[in-house]
Amino acid sequence: MIARGSWKWVAIAAIGLAVVLVLPRAGVPPFYVSLLTQTWIYAIVAMSLDLLVGFTGLVSFAQSAFFGAGAYGVAIAATRYAHTDFLTGILIGLLAGAFVAAIFGLVALRAEGVGFIIITIALNQIMWGLAYQWVSMSGGDNGITGFIRPKVGPFDVSGNAGFYYVCLAFLVLMLALLVAITRSPFGLVLRGVRETPRRMRALGYNVWLYRYLAMLIAGGIAGVAGVLFAWYNQFVGPGDLDLTLSTQLLIIVILGGIGTLYGQILGAAIVVFLSNGLSAVTQRWELVLGAIYFIIVMYAPDGLMGLGKRIVRRIQGKRAAAPLIENQLLGVTGDES
Amino acid sequence: MGAAFYVQNLLGGLAYGSLLFLIASGFTLIFGLMRIINLAQTAFYLIGAYVGLTLITHHFNFWLSGLAGGVATALLGFALYSLFLHRYHADHLTSLLLTLGFTLMLDDSVLAIWGGDPHSISPPHELSASLQFGRLVFPSYWLALIFVSLGIAAVLFVFMQRTKLGMIIRAAVDDEEMTRGLGVDVNRAFYVVFTAGALLAGLGGLLGGPITAAYPGLDGELTPLAFAVVIVGGMGSLSGALVGSMLIGLVNAFGKALFPEFSYFTIFVPVALIMALRPGGLFGRTQ
């Protein structure tokens, strides 16, 4: 099953997993444990977005809407209706994310390429408007508080170390799920849809349906991550589903390398530590973050790995081939128009 | 809910639509011509409002202050385009992310320079009175704003239809490659359109100020409306931007009056309907 050479990666993954497993117990300050917890959650959403961007060729700016649907879903259920247990909460996130994706997909998938981008931005903003304006349901700008992290079976995870493991477990689970999906025949069709939708159509595949299913899966996973995020903060607010978050997620995907899944963990770590580190250092962190986005988009459009490769090539004196994001994502569907 | 209710919201909606047009006309032309989704367009609006407001507090004339706000954002837009964006005009995602980077930086700069307090903006003295017709009462500034925007729209239409540069822009929106192939310098049109778009949005900032006020985060609230306008009207179409602006302005006004908690959601309904019936928008080409 495992190809030659991939043992190296299995070993690296095992060592990495071992390190992150002992971290909270090895005297790492709680602040960093909580940043890592945030990293795992962001990595889950970013991976779900990568399923759309990297594997299906759909550049979506609506991923934070699915994430926020999960977060608000569990917060509303917990504060209004009844105390929710762990599995119910996760299920609410899965369904809420997939439900919003199902509606968004119907509207957004009527367009392709840049039209899809525009419509997902509009839809995402509308979700934000709903969270911001529907005060009686969402608490408006004040958001929703007053819910706690439920027990996982017999385990009390209300402490930060315990919750760290919950999120890590979900990260591994979702990564495994997404790797399985992308390597399955279904995943191969998605790649075909990304590369040459017209040819896939000619071969008799229902391109729309595959894109729609990819959106449902990505929405469901993002919704689960949203639930984890709501429990992590024990607060939800309009910032959990705004356009800035959607962009942040795309930056994570780009940083980690589009279409890599694993890379998004690294991308998430960088963005989480950067934004938290900056806000600790300077009041004008948003300005600096914007500038950093800028630099990433201009100079590392094929991710950190791509940037590294280009630097190495530059040093070796070869002309660096620098594929634009466009070539990887939208240019490939060029035979469509 | 008598006739006064409808007329009042009709006028309010058209006034709101007028300020949306100032944002959306640039937005749609920039997209149609360069394929750049300029998210900074509403940030230009906000900066225009603050620059104008600052001048007004120094006792400058309202209209001159508004113009100064527009000139300030035009310079800013020109700088951003010529320094960064011009390299990525055909690259949707990169250019979009760059404009979002601008927006983050501009928002934070606004917060740093002008602080977080909301500022209300009074209309110019001569237009501060309310007009009254029977039971109907509305600010005279609403009417003025509608006329000013229609005037600007008329200038834009004449420019697009009657000048050589306007002709080049229209040709390049339709088929950029062919236009270049005919030996036309399209790049010049890019600079003009991006700068003019920033100018219009910045101009809108103070002109729309008496309706929207100015506060950090206003740009984020206007963005979905600008998007709705462009989706409804058809991307790249100036007539679409005008009709779409008025339509979204009206839906926004009546939505806010009838369903105060769901005004974004009520805007979404016509957007979804139009997407379902005419994916290219009312005035757009179906792809």
Chain B touched by A325 (CB under 8 Å): yes
For the record, the structure tokens of A27 come out as 């005297």
Task: Output the CA–CA distances (angstroms, integers) from residue A177 to A181, A209, A284, in the order listed.
Answer: 6, 20, 39
8 A C-beta contact, residue B287 and residue A112: yes
CB-side exposure of A291: number of CA atoms within 13 Å?
A: 8
Is residue A99 over pLDDT 90? yes
| Contact assignment for A290 to B105 by CB distance below 8 Å | yes
| Residues of chain B with C-beta less than 8 angstroms from the C-beta of A141 | none
Give me the residues of B, 205-244, that contact A with CB < 8 A. 220-221, 223-224, 227-228, 230-231, 235
| Contact assignment for A330 to B92 by CB distance below 8 Å | yes
Is residue A333 over pLDDT 50? no
Residue that wins the pLDDT comparison between B158 and A280: B158
| Residues of chain B with C-beta less than 8 angstroms from the C-beta of A251 | 97
For the record, the structure tokens of B173 come out as 């929106």
The confidence score (pLDDT) of residue B163 equals 92
In angstroms, what is the C-alpha Rg of chain A? 20
For the record, the structure tokens of B209 come out as 């100020």
| Residues of chain B with C-beta less than 8 angstroms from the C-beta of A134 | 261-262, 265
Q: Please give, rounded to a whole number of angstroms, the shortest distance from the CA of B89 to a CA of chain A.
A: 11
Task: Tell me what the pLDDT averaged over chain B comes to.
Answer: 88
* DSSP code of residue A51: I
- State how far the Cα of A123 lies from the Cα of A61, in Å rounded to an integer: 9
Strand partners of residue A235: A145
Residue that wins the pLDDT comparison between B234 and A333: B234
pLDDT tens-place string over residues B102-127: 888 899 899 999 988 999 888 888 88
The confidence score (pLDDT) of residue A317 equals 67
Is residue A290 over pLDDT 90? no
Strand partners of residue B133: B136
pLDDT band, very low/low/confident/very high, at A1 (cuts 50, 70, 90): very low
Is residue A308 over pLDDT 70? yes
- B266 closest CA partner among B279, B252, B276: B252
Chain A touched by B108 (CB under 8 Å): yes
Is residue A27 over pLDDT 90? no
Nearest CB neighbour to B108, from listed A121, A122, A290: A290
| Residues of chain B with C-beta less than 8 angstroms from the C-beta of A324 | 88, 91, 94
| Contact assignment for A134 to B261 by CB distance below 8 Å | yes
Is residue A326 over pLDDT 50? no
8 A C-beta contact, residue B62 and residue B216: no
| Contact assignment for B104 to A287 by CB distance below 8 Å | yes
Give me the residues of B, 123-162, that contact A with CB < 8 A. none
Contacts of A219 (CB under 8 A, 6+ apart): A48, A66, A69, A97, A98, A99, A100, A101, A102, A104, A105
The confidence score (pLDDT) of residue A127 equals 87
Chain B touched by A126 (CB under 8 Å): yes
DSSP of A117-157, one letter per residue? HHHHHHHHHHHHHHHHH-HHHH-GGG-EE---PPPBTTB--
Give me the residues of A, 211-240, that contact B with CB < 8 A. none
Is residue A312 over pLDDT 90? no
Is residue A218 over pLDDT 60? yes
Task: Tell me what the pLDDT averaged over chain A comes to.
Answer: 84
DSSP of A213-272, one letter per residue? HHHHHHHHHHHHHHHHHHHHHTEE-GGGGSHHHHHHHHHHHHHH-TT-STHHHHHHHHHH
The confidence score (pLDDT) of residue A190 equals 92
pLDDT band, very low/low/confident/very high, at A329 (cuts 50, 70, 90): low
Contacts of B170 (CB under 8 A, 6+ apart): B160
- State how far the Cα of B249 lies from the Cα of B11, in Å rounded to an integer: 10
For the ranges A101-105, A223-227, B85-89, the lowest mean pLDDT is seen at B85-89
Closest residue, chain B, to A242 (C-alpha): B220
pLDDT tens-place string over residues A165-216: 899 999 999 999 999 999 999 999 999 988 888 888 888 888 899 999 999 9
Q: At residue B116, what is the residue type?
A: G
Nearest CB neighbour to A135, from listed B98, B108, B261: B261
Closest residue, chain A, to B113 (C-alpha): A284
Give me the residues of B, 39-98, that contact A with CB < 8 A. 39, 84, 88, 90-94, 96-98
